[in-house]
């Protein structure tokens, strides 16, 4: 993220032009929460102000986002479990990704895992109290064989475990989306990652519009949508605001917010510039723009929030338990302890109807 002068930016009255400094919300942070709780959609200026808020007001910003989170989710936390079902070997060139063709990161590379391995992973997900089992493959989009394999395994997982299943298979066409829905997939993950404006800076092999088209195909097929982004890829605060509003316009139910782990061997190597407080502002902004969405603290949680991890659960109501795709998470026991220490509880409800 670019640096914002926090000593002045939040208090300069202005119009809402892109280059103007953000203005402090009318009625302060508490007034902003009141408006959201009254059903009012916040303005872009308010979202920009959250990202530019001074450190001295961070607790007030978090309190505002927590009031909104509490309205929709109480003090519950939903756990997600990621299974990297096919690793590396991807022909795309996403600059943040260790699995792309242009990455020289030292990661495991393998083709789609055997059904028994996926079933065993689902068992672990259930044992860890996950609500959702996420099957992820590295790909521009799935082959017919991969779609067949996912459609075959999902009913078997659901037969054995009370888990929602989310599929993250890359770009999907309407027919593929319908097949996944018919097989019992609850939700598809396909992250917007950043704004349309910033997208060409992180990927040249597909477009932001391609990603939106996949989400629209999934929505049309009756699938719930999981889509979020990554902070820390050299974007401007405006890009994060654009993404948050686009997710709102798409009616996305589940929003993972990642914090870039700049992996050696990727084009973004060495570009970790986020502070834990920036991450908290990002989560709070995402909550206030998307009040009823599940907001998940995703990859980079441990690395970037560090000792402030628990505070992230004030705006967010969800985390991954276990490892990320190619980077380690903290031990599950540390996640459970954090949730308990916060006075929160784990919930495992079925997916909400779309």
Q: Write the secondary structure of the chain as one string of H (helix), E (strand) and C (coil).
A: CCCCCCCCHHHCCCCCCCCCCCCCCCCHHHHHHHHHHCCCCCCHHHHHHHHCCCHHHHHHHHHHHHHHHHHHHCCEEEEEEEEEEEECCECCCCCCCCCECCCCCCCCCECCCCHHHHHHHHHHHHHCCCCEEEEEECCCCCCHHHHHHHHHHHHHHHHHCCCEEEEECCCCCHHHHHHHHHHCCCEEECCCECCCCCHHHHCCCCCHHHHHHHHHHHHHCCCEEECCEEECCCCCHHHHHHHHHHHHHHCCCEEEEEECCCCCCCCCCCCCCCCHHHHHHHHHHHHHHCCCCEEEECCCHHHHHHHHHHHHCCCCCEEECCCCCCCCCCCHHHHHHHHHHCCCEEECCCCCCC
The window from 30-38, 44-52, 91-99, 107-115 that contacts ligand SF4 (CB under 6 A) reads 91-99
Q: Would you call 203 a catalytic residue per the annotation?
A: no
Does residue 90 carry a catalytic annotation? Answer: yes
* Distance in angstroms (rounded) separating the CA atoms of residues 164 and 186: 6
Q: Which is nearer to ligand SF4, 90 or 180 (CB)?
A: 90
Which entry of 48, 226, 281, 301 is annotated as an active-site residue?
A: 226
Q: How far apart (Å, rounded) are the C-alpha atoms in residues 242 and 153?
A: 36
Q: How far is the CB of 204 from ligand SF4 (least distance, A)?
A: 11
Segment interacting with ligand SF4, rule: CB under 6 A, options 20-28, 31-39, 90-98, 126-134: 90-98
Rounded to 5 degrees, φ, ψ at 244 are -60, -40
| Least distance CB 263 / ligand SF4 (angstroms) | 11
Does 99 engage in binding with ligand SF4 (CB under 6 A)?
A: yes
Helices 276-289 and 44-51 pack at an angle, to 10 degrees, of: 160
Q: How many residues bind ligand SF4 (CB under 6 A)?
A: 9
Pick from 224, 86, 87: which is nearest to 149 by CA?
A: 86
Q: Does 94 bind ligand SF4 (CB under 6 A)?
A: yes
Query: Binder to ligand SF4 among 78, 129, 138, 164 (CB under 6 A)?
Result: 138
Would you say 266 or 290 has its CB closer to ligand SF4?
266
Active site residue 151: no
Residue 92 within binding range of ligand SF4, rule CB under 6 A: yes
Residues 1, 77, 82, 90: which binds ligand SF4 (CB under 6 A)?
90
Q: Stretches 97-105, 224-232, 257-265, 280-288: which one binds ligand SF4 (CB under 6 A)?
A: 97-105
| Active-site residue flag, 226 | yes
Q: How far is the CB of 100 from ligand SF4 (least distance, A)?
A: 3
Taking CB under 6 A as the criterion, which residues in 142-201 touch ligand SF4? 170
Q: One of 23, 48, 67, 90 is an active-site residue; which one?
A: 90
- Minimum separation from the CB atom of position 77 to ligand SF4 (A): 26
Look up 296 and say whether it is catalytic. Answer: yes
Q: Give the residue, chosen from 97, 150, 221, 297, that forms a contact with ligand SF4 under the rule CB under 6 A.
A: 97
Tell me how far, at minimum, the Cβ of 300 lies from ligand SF4, in Å: 15
Q: Which of residues 319-348 bind ligand SF4 (CB under 6 A)?
A: none
Task: By CB under 6 A, tell whether 100 contacts ligand SF4.
Answer: yes
The nearer residue to ligand SF4, 97 or 280, going by C-beta atoms, is 97
Site residues (vs ligand SF4, CB under 6 A): 90, 92, 94, 97, 99-100, 138, 140, 170
Active site residues: 90, 94, 97, 134, 166, 226, 296
């Amino acid at each position: 993220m670019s640096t914002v002068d926090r000593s002045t930016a939040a208090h300069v009255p202005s119009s809402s032009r892109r280059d103007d400094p953000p203005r402090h919300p009318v009625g302060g942070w508490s007034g902003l929460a009141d408006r959201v709780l009254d059903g009012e959609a916040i303005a872009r200026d308010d979202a920009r102000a959250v990202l530019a808020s001074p450190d001295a007001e961070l607790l007030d910003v978090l309190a505002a986002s927590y009031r909104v989170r509490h309205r929709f989710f109480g003090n519950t936390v939903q756990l997600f479990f990621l299974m990297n079902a096919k690793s590396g070997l991807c022909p795309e060139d996403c600059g943040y990704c260790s699995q792309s063709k242009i990455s020289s990161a030292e990661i495991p590379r393998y083709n789609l895992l055997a059904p028994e391995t996926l079933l065993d992973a689902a068992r672990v997900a259930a044992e860890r109290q996950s609500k959702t089992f996420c099957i992820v493959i590295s790909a521009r989009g799935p082959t017919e064989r991969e779609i067949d394999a996912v459609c075959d395994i999902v009913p078997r997982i659901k037969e054995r475990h009370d888990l929602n299943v989310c599929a993250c298979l890359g770009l999907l066409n309407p027919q593929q989306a319908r097949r996944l829905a018919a097989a019992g997939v609850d939700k598809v993950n396909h992250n917007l990652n950043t704004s349309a404006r910033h997208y060409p800076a992180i990927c040249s092999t597909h477009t932001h519009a391609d990603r939106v088209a996949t989400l629209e195909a999934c929505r049309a097929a009756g699938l719930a949508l999981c889509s979020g982004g990554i902070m820390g890829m050299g974007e401007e605060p405006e890009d994060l605001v654009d993404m948050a509003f686009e997710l709102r316009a798409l009616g996305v139910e589940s929003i993972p917010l990642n914090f870039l782990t700049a992996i050696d061997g990727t084009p973004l190597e060495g570009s970790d510039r986020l502070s834990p407080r920036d991450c908290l502002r990002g989560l709070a902004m995402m909550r206030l723009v998307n009040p009823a969405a599940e907001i998940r603290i995703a990859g980079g949680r441990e690395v970037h929030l560090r000792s402030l991890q628990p505070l992230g659960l004030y705006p967010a109501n969800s985390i991954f338990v276990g490892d990320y795709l190619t980077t380690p998470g903290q031990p599950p026991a540390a996640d459970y302890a954090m949730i308990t220490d916060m006075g929160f509880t784990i919930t495992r409800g079925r997916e909400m109807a779309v």
